[in-house]
Amino acid sequence: MKTLDWRTDRLRIKALLRADQSAGEVFVQGWLRTVRRSKGVNFLALNDGSCLESLQVVVGEDSPAFATSESLGTGCCVGVRGTVVASPGEGQAWEVQAAEIIVYGQADETFPLQKKRHGFEFLRSIAHLRPRTNAFGAVFRVRSRIAHAVHTFFQERGFLYIHSPIITANDCEGAGEMFRVTTLNPENPPQVDGRIAWHEDFFGAKTGLTVSGQLQGELFATAFTDIYTFGPTFRAENSNTSRHASEFWMIEPEVAFADLAVNCQLAEDFFRFMVEYALEHCQEDLAFFNQFIDKGLLERLENVVKTPFQAMSYTEAVERLQKSGQKFEFPVEWGCDLQSEHERYLTEQVVGGPLFVTDYPAGIKAFYMRQNDDNRTVAAMDLLVPKVGEIIGGSQREERLDILQRKMRAFDILPESLDWYLDTRRWGSCPHAGFGLGFERFLMYITGMENVRDVIPFPRTPGNARF
């Protein structure tokens, strides 16, 4: 057998397993998922993360690698040189008969992933090792693929990708959920008249981590027409739910010359494109989720691709909830914010699929949303989906300077503090609209995983920023 060079000849296990014919002599590298010993032969399940399936490596007694294979256990990192042959066993087309095994890293029986299945809660406590499980292998392959799908969708449609800033002085959503960014001495900050002198801080102002790239996105939309952002956002919101993370990724398109209807259509097209993309490019991983995590997943995703989304106004949604006869923890009346129990009821029970709720009361939405002619609602939309609830939030923006200024004052936002934002309304203002899709919420939807902590590599939630 010729000598294979590990730097150049390594074959990805996915390529080996998917090949129509034997890949011949190969060199593969990865981590052992299991080691099974039987009379005179050891079976190693080798996984390199390229696909869900592991490669069966067979080491017979007569192989020069047999002695080495005797010392191996779950978790070891190895390289295997051998020959690909058709597998007589069930479940795989090809296996490798090992001629040589290089051990890079041993792992003894204290390696925590010995059992086949572990609870997600336990796996969260070893977030540094969980990528080496089937479920998290699948989650992070899908995450990577879908991130690519985001760019594909917008780039194919001529949208400009903008990198909105992470550090900013403005709280876009106005909910006061910003993490502070400061270099002032926390023990003894400079003060003027008993108040912290933020103007002496690093940026000469009070700054924090962004809660949304929207306001900057709007500035770019008034130059490039169609733009999107895709980056991390941060919210110091103390809500310990399965759908809230303190650090999450958001995709925010912003489109000039668009109203709420155009915005909803874009959201629907985008959503459907991403689902179709996942069905086409993540088949093996989605089949895994369908089998082990959420039995109805594939059927639900296939239906979403075929069925137009429904829409109803907030006012109608409130009426439907009130008439439902359903007991909710939070009672519903016009003017209240919809709670997740209401959102789930609407999307799961009332329409049984994705639902746009539009035209919310002005008082419960952000200052930048465009006032409707009824003077009490704004041109807002939320997209609600079964199992997740709110997955997209968006609106047409208030492009009329005087109304926007009035609105800001009503919301206790000093117009001077956002003079740069208002400049777009002063010079060349245009109707425009946009939305934000929570990337993790979308991943929950597409994988059936029920906790936001299980679709992001290293979750940040209140009380938890280890790793």
| Binding positions for ligand 4AD, rule: CB under 6 A | 172-173, 212, 214, 235, 237, 244-245, 248, 250, 252, 390-395, 434-436, 438, 440-441, 452
Nearer to Mg ion, 208 or 393 (CB): 393
Closest CB 255 distance from ligand 4AD, rounded Å: 11
Beta bridge partners of 232: 249
Eight-class DSSP state of 347: I
Strands ordered across the beta sheet of 160-161: 160-161, 226-234, 247-256, 432-438, 389-396, 377-385, 355-361, 310-313
- Return d(Cα 242, Cα 135) in angstroms, integer: 18
Closest residue by beta carbon to Mg ion = 393
Nearer to ligand 4AD, 35 or 250 (CB): 250
Please give the full DSSP string across 32-43, using - where no structure is assigned: EEEEEEETTEEE
Instruction: Yes or no: say if 391 and 439 are a contact pair by the CB < 8 Å rule.
Output: no
Give the H or E element holding residue 272: helix 260-281
Closest CB 294 distance from ligand 4AD, rounded Å: 19
Q: Which does 338 bind (CB under 5 to 8 A by kind): ligand 4AD, Mg ion, none?
A: none
Alpha-carbon distance values, 458 to 196, 263, 414, 446, 453 (Å): 33, 32, 37, 19, 8
- Return d(Cα 208, Cα 322) in angstroms, integer: 40
Nearer to ligand 4AD, 100 or 259 (CB): 259
Per rule CB under 5 A, count of chain residues that contact Mg ion:
1
Closest CB 467 distance from ligand 4AD, rounded Å: 18
Nearer to Mg ion, 30 or 393 (CB): 393
Closest CB 215 distance from ligand 4AD, rounded Å: 8
Residues 6+ apart with CB under 8 A from 297: 286, 289, 290, 447, 448
- Return d(Cα 371, Cα 399) in angstroms, integer: 10
Residue in this structure with the two tokens 């890949």, named with its chain if needed: 23
Instruction: Yes or no: say if 456 and 146 are a contact pair by the CB < 8 Å rule.
Output: no
Nearer to ligand 4AD, 48 or 173 (CB): 173
Widest distance between CA atoms in the chain: 85
Nearest to 349 by CA among 386, 301, 311, 296: 386
Closest CB 216 distance from ligand 4AD, rounded Å: 10
Q: Which does 177 bind (CB under 5 to 8 A by kind): Mg ion, ligand 4AD, none?
A: none
Nearer to ligand 4AD, 244 or 300 (CB): 244
Nearer to ligand 4AD, 133 or 451 (CB): 451
Nearer to ligand 4AD, 30 or 459 (CB): 459
Closest CB 212 distance from ligand 4AD, rounded Å: 4
Closest CB 368 distance from ligand 4AD, rounded Å: 8
Residue in this structure with the two tokens 């009329």, named with its chain if needed: 400
Instruction: Yes or no: say if 174 and 414 are a contact pair by the CB < 8 Å rule.
Output: no
Closest CB 388 distance from ligand 4AD, rounded Å: 8
Q: Which does 173 bind (CB under 5 to 8 A by kind): Mg ion, ligand 4AD, none?
A: ligand 4AD
Please give the full DSSP string across 349-394, using - where no structure is assigned: IISSS-EEEEEEEGGGS-TTBPBPTTSSEEEEEEEEETTTEEEEEE
Q: Which does 172 bind (CB under 5 to 8 A by kind): ligand 4AD, Mg ion, none?
A: ligand 4AD
Nearer to ligand 4AD, 41 or 169 (CB): 169
Segment 239 to 268, residues that bind Mg ion, using CB under 5 A = none
Q: Which does 55 bind (CB under 5 to 8 A by kind): ligand 4AD, Mg ion, none?
A: none
Q: Which does 359 bind (CB under 5 to 8 A by kind): ligand 4AD, Mg ion, none?
A: none
Nearer to ligand 4AD, 74 or 212 (CB): 212
- Return d(Cα 285, Cα 146) in angstroms, integer: 12
Segment 373 to 412, residues that bind Mg ion, using CB under 5 A = 393
Q: Which does 212 bind (CB under 5 to 8 A by kind): ligand 4AD, Mg ion, none?
A: ligand 4AD
Give the residue ranges of DSSP H helices in 157-259. 214-224
Closest CB 253 distance from Mg ion, rounded Å: 15
Tokens of 425: 């309304």
Q: Which does 370 bind (CB under 5 to 8 A by kind): Mg ion, ligand 4AD, none?
A: none
- Indicate the SS3 state at residue 309: coil
Q: Which residues bind Mg ion (CB under 5 A)?
A: 393
